[in-house]
Structure 1
């Protein structure tokens, strides 16, 4: 949590600089300034003890060069005009411009800020290097000239925020005398202006507007701070990607062409290869600081920067990996899945959650197989995707995942009511929705599994009929030792409908949720046999035996812990969701005299008498009671996102959770009602609905 003495402020349209875990200045825009080269992570002093001599300039402006250990480096220090008077370098001008855009220095004169920049040091950091460490003294602060940084609190492995160009780091702690409240790491190769206490004091001696600007800022900051205003900035969206060949694959020009078309149809993307860099900067080494600066500045021109790495882990491939927010591991699915040197390099630089495996197939004519071998070799991969070269929709889906627009369908459990999912799904697809991730609990998982296999709603409805009516798989009692029903019949029916397909081999991403009684945690099924996931997710306690994994975990119906796996969906992707759930908060009453419920002998006589059953009180069956018990704790307040659509299908009051005989009726009714609802809201120009239906075309 963020400390109360350093709250996060956010003005409309403003991104304020971070005081290690707090934020305070507008995003700055930098020009094509030639930034200095320096050893990794080392500060560059203002005046090296070395001879200074003029040198030819690579591009516009006047520069001076300094000699160090026999190597020439461009400097961003003082520039002399024709009369020998000192001028500001392009680096100092860039830094001053960025400083003036922050709330802390918006009242300072540009002259004062240029003087401050000229007195300060430039520091170059490679990806993964520590800029400041939590608990250290705040003896300097920084402004990001180029690149990006992540903020980390305590022992947490994840970042709580990201810092981009033009943002301040550590300014509140510096002026308030507070220690660092977080650790800041370079998220890619980056350059900062480092402003020490001596730098600031020297500039402020001659230019009082600097100190006045800071005083006003601190007064405004602390006057408005409160515990309620303290919150963390959400992590920045993906801006840069690296394309790395995985396994024994090679990245073909045809594959890059498909990616260009998919990105171009939905985003403003800039693809950059080693040849592009060499054409713009002929003769310069790949790690030259001017190239790094140019790469960072490209972000202002495009929504995404896609770095196309070389096949070998050379200097350019290293630059691609260090500059990327996420890595696409592209592989021909028919090649060897063995990890290659470029992937090993990626592992040494990137955290596991930033890699996506993309398995490329020639076409969709054959069923996918062999995905498990790729994932076993790469257990760190957070997501994997299947794309076919003959299906542009697969590439468009991949782009939606990357851009945070992937559309999910979240299906709640509800026994036989789950057939309504088919109608809702069919209506949205016919209206133009293109779903990218499917997930559900219990019967919701069963319906989504069918869609993930590529079946349509009518085919899944016929499968429902086969399982529950034709084979009577849910009406086969057994000796009530392990459960009430014979699970063998149900398992055979599931395997017949779903086959032995693996979840990881599905074209459409899918998950099912069950309850892990061994760990007392929700269990998300994303690998393994599809029918196993459906069986575990719908394993109603007492009705069916628990499902046991190879690891020894005991799994039962997911509705025990979470009947609506929206939280799991939002953890797996960002973007809108269509959420379908059942029931209302209205209490259900039963007109039953408790004293009339028969005992064992009375019940036996009634069941043996052909006319006795009709005289029994209409008490819910044991199956119905168990099903209702699992849903008793379901939340009535669902954390629906701003882009989400919540659908609560109407179901007949006379239909129970176990009444599968009316599955087709419920499917048809949900389809008709959802279709009418979509048509009505489109006529009302519902922007949220249009956004969901337009995801396939963005």
Structure 2
């Protein structure tokens, strides 16, 4: 039409421009569209700030150089994100260096245009301040960097680096990798996360290029390239995620896939010898800044993952890895037409949300769900029952980790992926630790009461020589480094050693010497007993945190300014004397050791991304491992109750819903003048400015949607019946208050002002 009837197109363009306000036309004139090649810097740390940038297409990465010369990643930005606005508004030098991860298209908003907008429309500045405030508050919890504004936000999405991936390239390690079947299987899994997913192969490029030659014959190669690039950009607009399946060699199509990718999946076969493919070697020599992940495929009847360390040591450029347990159809020997025909039938059925491919889909789209298990001795046996309830409720686990006993239980599940096997091994270990054999491990108490030999043997018998990298589910554990006075997060290395280190209670077990650097490692509970923040920093959208720690008694006796031990001794020995509650020396030292942990726990409980669960296990002591079955059943019954409430209140649906769909639904019902935080079309935002209105009440919480009052009443009664059988004289525990707060349970008569201790 443009070539044959240019007057028609010009007439339409003239009509559109006439409908714009003069100010919008000025802003459009001031905007400068620019293209940045992959690897090129948009600006560098210390440069003068004279503009802001809007990401129209592509992906940018922000890095800050510290005083010691080390570089730290501060964020990644995709379509619709605004970067550099903080420095431009405050006239400060650039605080970070921003470069293009892939070929990107930006709109440059000069400082003068920002100043003009501020003067004519102060509501825009108010909106920017609101967004910056939310970003800064989120970074206080997440440790991010408030120098860029993401185009969408949600209570579970702030600061998630993988939340805006849109282009994923898939390359094979060798020609034996069933790449087409893998990509189709991943596309099927992605259909449960976001319905719009496109699978692009080299044949697409040929067909689109042929179409362009037929429609625009005689055009030069450059125009074909431009139109193909534009078409691929349109696919990014239309689809939630685009999968680029590369060739097995470095063809022009493979180069395009790599150049367009936000993330590159390197797919290999787990049962083959660790090796680096020829394509990877060529990839290493190019300046590809997209994040790279190693994916190892395993057959259903194949051996367990092993030698993953060798795979990773050959690939220093890989930032993460996953083991995928593949169905038989992935490795079936079929021709391409028959393979596509088979997967057309597969696409008719919903994917299994517990499959490893579904886990990969959630990781790529920023919807991963993490399970974090806290420390608490034998009370941690309840975590086994809660995991069983999670599986029955259909809640997937994409990442798992913990501290102390939580490190042990989470490692069992990450290794087995089966509740039954996990329970058998956990019960076996609890039985051993409850036996009299542990007394034989007593030693002269210079460093600790026990030498650790028996304890080490019991853990080593469970995990053998398993490495953390060989676990099915991404795993981490927390220890306290008393050499460096710091928290250590372990995601690689000997599994049993770091589990043992995370369970090394001071006074009972000696510190474990880290084989990597010789540092002394102690129980992670001293520094972070419920590390939900660590799981969040590793990319989880939602963190389900299970707290089984002991409760500190706060109803203590006020004995005045001084205290006599003889007076305490008399009070305790005299049966007629009034009992007093005074901490002994050991209890005071223990509370001092856990001061940092208590503060961290409160931050986790108050965070928006975390779903906090505490089963009613306070009546069990730290060393009650002989009551494994009883404690496990308490956790199971409590988990069933909580997850049933979540299911009825819509919490589970919100967890599994794609972040972009969540933001879209919120936009449709929003009453705010600016329904989204997108800056992709700034002209539209400015043109829609309205006078300041009265404050609008906040939308209902995600936990308060589609939940009938009578259902709430019934579920609350079920929970109260269960809680009353577990805890005497505590009909309104903090756990009930916690669930009531989460799902807005109506309070029963006579309970309006009651408070209590968590279950």
Q: Tell me if both proteins adopt one fold, taking TM over 0.5 as the criterion.
A: yes
Residue among 603, 608, 632 paired with 1:642: 608
Match of 1:61 in 2: 2
Match of 1:479 in 2: 444
Cα deviation, residue 171, structure 1: 8.7
CA distance in structure 2 between the aligned counterparts of 1:298 and 1:385, rounded to whole angstroms: 27
SS at match of 2:458: helix
Match of 1:556 in 2: 522
Residue among 554, 557, 566 paired with 1:595: 566
After superposition, the Cα gap between the structure-2 partners of 1:513 and 1:471, relative to the gap in structure 1 and judged at 3 Å, is: farther
Residue 574, structure 1, aligned to residue 536, structure 2? no
SS at match of 1:238: coil
- After superposition, the C-alpha distances for 1:589-637 in whole angstroms (9 at most, x for unaligned) are 5999833899xxxxxxxxxxxxxxxxxx999999988766643442351
- After superposition, the C-alpha distances for 1:79-113 in whole angstroms (9 at most, x for unaligned) are 9759xxxx8699xx69x98x999xxx965365x67
Match of 1:605 in 2: none
Residue 376, structure 1, aligned to residue 313, structure 2? yes
SS at match of 2:230: helix
Cα deviation, residue 671, structure 1: 1.5
Cα deviation, residue 557, structure 1: 0.9
CA distance in structure 2 between the aligned counterparts of 1:520 and 1:174, rounded to whole angstroms: 39
SS at match of 2:378: helix
Give the number of the structure whose residues are more often helix, by fraction: 2
Match of 1:408 in 2: 370
- After superposition, the C-alpha distances for 1:486-538 in whole angstroms (9 at most, x for unaligned) are 31111111112222222211212222111122332222222223211211111
Residue among 253, 267, 278 paired with 1:316: 253
CA distance in structure 2 between the aligned counterparts of 1:193 and 1:619, rounded to whole angstroms: 66
Match of 1:275 in 2: 203
Which sections of structure 1, spanning at least 5 residues, go unmatched? 1-59, 64-78, 201-209, 599-616
CA distance in structure 2 between the aligned counterparts of 1:584 and 1:464, rounded to whole angstroms: 25
Residue among 180, 184, 207 paired with 1:257: 184
Match of 1:124 in 2: 35
Residue among 491, 498, 508 paired with 2:473: 508
Cα deviation, residue 483, structure 1: 2.0
Residue among 240, 264, 287 paired with 1:349: 287
Cα deviation, residue 389, structure 1: 2.1
After superposition, the Cα gap between the structure-2 partners of 1:469 and 1:584, relative to the gap in structure 1 and judged at 3 Å, is: closer
8 A contact 1:473–1:493 mirrored in 2: no
Cα deviation, residue 398, structure 1: 0.9
SS at match of 2:294: strand
8 A contact 1:515–1:556 mirrored in 2: yes
SS at match of 2:73: coil
SS at match of 1:305: strand
After superposition, the Cα gap between the structure-2 partners of 1:212 and 1:80, relative to the gap in structure 1 and judged at 3 Å, is: farther
- After superposition, the C-alpha distances for 1:291-335 in whole angstroms (9 at most, x for unaligned) are 222212211111001111122223322221221111111111233
8 A contact 2:546–2:612 mirrored in 1: yes
Match of 2:751 in 1: none
CA distance in structure 2 between the aligned counterparts of 1:215 and 1:491, rounded to whole angstroms: 65
Cα deviation, residue 262, structure 1: 1.6
8 A contact 2:57–2:78 mirrored in 1: no
Match of 1:108 in 2: 23
CA distance in structure 2 between the aligned counterparts of 1:80 and 1:150, rounded to whole angstroms: 40
SS at match of 1:329: strand
8 A contact 2:172–2:179 mirrored in 1: no
SS at match of 2:438: coil
Match of 2:73 in 1: 158
SS at match of 2:253: helix
Which sections of structure 2, spanning at least 5 residues, go unmatched? 136-145, 151-160, 214-220, 329-351, 570-579, 662-759
Cα deviation, residue 365, structure 1: 4.2
**What is the 5 A alignment of 1:11-410?**
60-62=1-3, 81=7, 108=23, 116=29, 123-136=34-47, 146-151=57-62, 157-160=72-75, 162=77, 164=79, 183-192=97-106, 214=117, 216-217=119-120, 219-221=122-124, 229=132, 231=135, 232=146, 233-234=149-150, 237-246=164-173, 250-267=177-194, 268-282=196-210, 288-347=225-284, 348-351=286-289, 354-390=291-327, 393-410=355-372
Residue among 629, 636, 641 paired with 1:664: 629
**What is the 5 A alignment of 1:519-534?**
519-534=484-499
Match of 2:342 in 1: none
Match of 1:44 in 2: none
8 A contact 2:59–2:76 mirrored in 1: no
Residue 419, structure 1, aligned to residue 381, structure 2? yes
8 A contact 1:494–1:531 mirrored in 2: yes
- After superposition, the C-alpha distances for 1:417-458 in whole angstroms (9 at most, x for unaligned) are 211211221222222222121101011111111112215253
Q: Which moved more, 1:479-488 or 1:368-377?
A: 479-488
CA distance in structure 2 between the aligned counterparts of 1:483 and 1:377, rounded to whole angstroms: 41
Q: Which moved more, 1:559-568 or 1:476-485?
A: 476-485
CA distance in structure 1 between the aligned counterparts of 2:72 and 2:524, rounded to whole angstroms: 29
Cα deviation, residue 408, structure 1: 1.3
Match of 2:391 in 1: 429
Cα deviation, residue 260, structure 1: 2.2
Cα deviation, residue 253, structure 1: 2.5
CA distance in structure 1 between the aligned counterparts of 2:357 and 2:470, rounded to whole angstroms: 17
- For CA contacts below 8 A with separation 6 or more, give which structure has more relative contact order: 2
Q: Number of aligned residue pairs: give it.
A: 573
- After superposition, the C-alpha distances for 1:320-359 in whole angstroms (9 at most, x for unaligned) are 122111111111123343333433454543448x221110
After superposition, the Cα gap between the structure-2 partners of 1:229 and 1:465, relative to the gap in structure 1 and judged at 3 Å, is: closer
Q: Which has the larger radius of gyration?
A: 1
CA distance in structure 2 between the aligned counterparts of 1:565 and 1:211, rounded to whole angstroms: 41
After superposition, the Cα gap between the structure-2 partners of 1:621 and 1:349, relative to the gap in structure 1 and judged at 3 Å, is: farther
Residue 538, structure 1, aligned to residue 503, structure 2? yes
8 A contact 2:58–2:79 mirrored in 1: yes
SS at match of 1:384: strand
SS at match of 2:257: helix
After superposition, the Cα gap between the structure-2 partners of 1:467 and 1:691, relative to the gap in structure 1 and judged at 3 Å, is: farther
Residue among 615, 631, 634 paired with 2:594: 631
Q: CA RMSD in A?
A: 4.3
After superposition, the Cα gap between the structure-2 partners of 1:451 and 1:437, relative to the gap in structure 1 and judged at 3 Å, is: same
CA distance in structure 2 between the aligned counterparts of 1:453 and 1:403, rounded to whole angstroms: 24
8 A contact 2:38–2:288 mirrored in 1: no
SS at match of 2:628: helix
CA distance in structure 1 between the aligned counterparts of 2:543 and 2:114, rounded to whole angstroms: 50
SS at match of 2:492: coil
After superposition, the Cα gap between the structure-2 partners of 1:180 and 1:627, relative to the gap in structure 1 and judged at 3 Å, is: closer
After superposition, the Cα gap between the structure-2 partners of 1:479 and 1:274, relative to the gap in structure 1 and judged at 3 Å, is: same
Residue among 649, 661, 670 paired with 1:686: 649
